[in-house]
Structure 1
Amino acid sequence: MMIVEGLSKTYGETVALSDVSIDFKSGTVHCVLGENGSGKSTLVKILSGIVTPDSGSIRFDGKPLPFGRLRDLIDLGLATVFQEVLIAPDRSVADNILLGLDGPFRRRISKVERKQLIEKVLDTLGARQLPLDIEAGKLPLASQQIVVIARALARDPKVLILDEATAALDHGDREAVFQMMERMAADGKLVIFISHRMEEVMRLSDDVSILRSGMHAGSFARGSFTAADLLAKMAPPARGLVEEGTAQ
């Protein structure tokens, strides 16, 4: 279980997150929804160790997580796939999938184990047909993103964060990724899924959290919400309603 408590982050006068607290349960797909500027990207960057918050804490399996230390979080079992396709274009597909697994001076896994691991993660994504020796930059964009997702899976993460990571995929690839997410949750792992596609959220989510203007607008369990409920929570309150509520 990952417990986020009181995360806040500002950039100058811009408030990206304000006192956000969310419980992410293991064995679930937890979707995070919000309009542009709601704080989703900042939350993901903090969870991934890229950004350090101004205040707040994160605990995973009862232990505090370090802020701003990407390598430490990877070693603890967290993996993130961003919307931007982050590959090493001049290196092979195989090298990209295994990127970061080897030490600075020697390989941590044997050649045979490397091949088996690559085949396993590509099978998981229904992408065994990908040519392993071609430079990754020569692949279509959708295939490049599959390589990035395969890289995350190669680390056998306890927590997989997907930040709009299916946006570049076609229908078949998205379906394979969705099935992978469902299997991970069934195996007791946590998948945090950022998406703007309501049909994906309604299908996949065990829990949904809404961010609005940098604040946590509520979390909801499967079966307790409709798409209309979520959209209403995402939208800022009408000015007249705010004024009326303040007057009371």
Structure 2
Amino acid sequence: MLDIAAISKRYGETIALSDATIAFRPGTIHTILGENGSGKSTLVKILSGIVQPDSGTVRLDGRAITGRNPADFQAQGFATAFQEVLIAPDRSVTDNILLGLDGLWRRNIPRARRRDRAAEVLARFARTEIPLDLPAGRLPLAAQQLVVLARAVARDPRILILDEITAALDFADRESVFAFMQRQAAEGRLILFITHRMDEVMALSDDISVLRSGRVVQSGPRGNATPADLLRVMAPQTAEELRSHAHA
């Protein structure tokens, strides 16, 4: 469905990604693992159209994507919910969820349907009751995160990228979001999931790609991998230190 081939990106002297190649299968939750600075954020930005790779190809359904900005990627079925809570604080929850879906000169969703549409999207995964007419900036952080996710889901994407979006959520909302992700994958969509929580990795992943220092060091089905196995690939030095302490 989606693959990246030999993607490289550098910022001055810093190599963010080096010759990264990953194949993403439809109908899966594909987790991207890596320590800070491993290249995860750069990969997310490339697949969101925010930054351009210096070299390499992104292919969707076997065809190279020529998109140069987020709108191009969104038009091809991508949507991203970022870790940073990006909202228009003075606009209503409804307006925030539907932000970007309207055309420049007219509303694609009729005014009478807007509130219902926002409520429908939130009901798919949110357990917390969120007032649709309240300015989004007055919501608690966890509720704002649900609004950010709803904005991505409202686009009905084929490829949904979730960048550390569960960190601020309470248990009920987090579990509900996980169930939603699994339903989306069961419908044939692709979920790219970035998380540092190993319990989430083990519970949800169909496929896992591990990044280290900008390189893809492992990629494929989760199989029988344990958290310790993944830590050894992701951060060999940390894994060795933990092993030494355990045997001390």
> Which whole-Å CA distance do the structure 2 matches of 1:86 and 1:31 have between them?
23
Q: Does 1:147 align with 2:140?
A: no
Q: Which residue of 2 aligns with 1:241?
A: none
Structure 1 residue 83, shift from structure 2 partner: 0.6
Q: Tell me what 1:162 maps to.
A: 162
Equivalent residue, structure 2, for 1:185: 185
The separation in 2 between residues aligned to 1:116 and 1:135, in whole angstroms, is 17
2:203 matched residue in structure 1: 203
Give the distance between the partners of 1:5 and 1:100, measured in 2 at CA. Answer: 30
Shift of 1:63: 2.0
Match of 2:215 in 1: 215
Partner of 1:39: 39
3-state SS of 1:31 partner: strand
Q: Aligned with 2:99: secondary structure? A: coil
Are the equivalent residues in 2 in contact too, given 1:122–1:128 (CA < 8 A)? no
The offset of 1:235, in angstroms, is: 1.3
User: Secondary structure, in 3 states, of the residue corresponding to 2:108?
Assistant: coil
SS at match of 2:44: helix
CA-to-partner distance for each residue in 1:150-207, whole Å, 9 max, x for gaps? 1111100000001111111111111111111000000000000000000000000000
Which structure 2 residue ranges, 5 or more long, are not aligned? 239-248
| Aligned position for 2:132 | 132
Question: What amino acid is the match of 1:201?
Answer: V
How does 1:6-155 map onto structure 2 within 5 Å? 6-127=6-127, 129-155=129-155
Tell me, in whole angstroms, the C-alpha distance in 1 between the residues paired with 2:77 and 2:58.
14
Q: 1 CA distance for matches of 2:16 and 2:53?
A: 10
Which amino acid in structure 1 is aligned with residue 138 of structure 2? K
Q: State the aligned residue count.
A: 238
Partner AA of 1:121 in structure 2: V
- Separation (CA, whole Å) in 2 of partners of 1:15 and 1:159: 26
C-alpha deviations, 1:78-126, integer Å up to 9, x for none? Answer: 0001110010001000000000000111101223432332122111013
For 1:120 and 1:185, how far apart are their aligned partners in 2? 19
* C-alpha distance in structure 1 between counterparts of 2:87 and 2:66, whole Å: 26
The residue identity in structure 2 corresponding to 1:105 is: W
CA distance in 1, matches of 2:62, 2:10: 27
Check the 8 A contact 1:51/1:67 in 2, yes or no. Answer: no
User: What code does the residue aligned with 1:206 have?
Assistant: D
> TM-score when scaled to structure 2?
0.92
Check the 8 A contact 1:119/1:128 in 2, yes or no: no
Q: Does the Cα contact within 8 Å between 2:128 and 2:143 map onto a contact in 1?
A: no
- Structure 1 counterpart of 2:38, which letter? S
Counterpart of 2:126 in 1: which secondary structure? coil
In structure 2, how many angstroms separate the alpha carbons of the residues matched to 1:92 and 1:178? 26
Q: What is the identity, as a one-letter code, of the residue corresponding to 2:186? A: A
Classify the secondary structure of the residue corresponding to 2:218: strand
Take 2:237 and 2:173, find their aligned partners in 1: how far apart are those partners?
37
Q: Are the structure 2 counterparts of residues 108 and 128 from structure 1 closer, same or farther at C-alpha, using a change threshold of 3 Å? A: farther
Contact 1:48 1:73 in 2 (8 A): yes
TM-score, with length taken from structure 1: 0.92
Letter in 2 for 1:47: L
RMSD of aligned alpha carbons: 1.4
Distance 2:82 2:115 in 1: 25
Deviates more, 1:168-177 or 1:8-17: 168-177
Q: Please say if residues 27 and 188 of structure 2, whose CA atoms lie closer than 8 Å, have aligned partners that are also in contact.
A: yes
SS class of match (1:210): strand
How far apart are the structure 2 equivalents of 1:183 and 1:82?
20
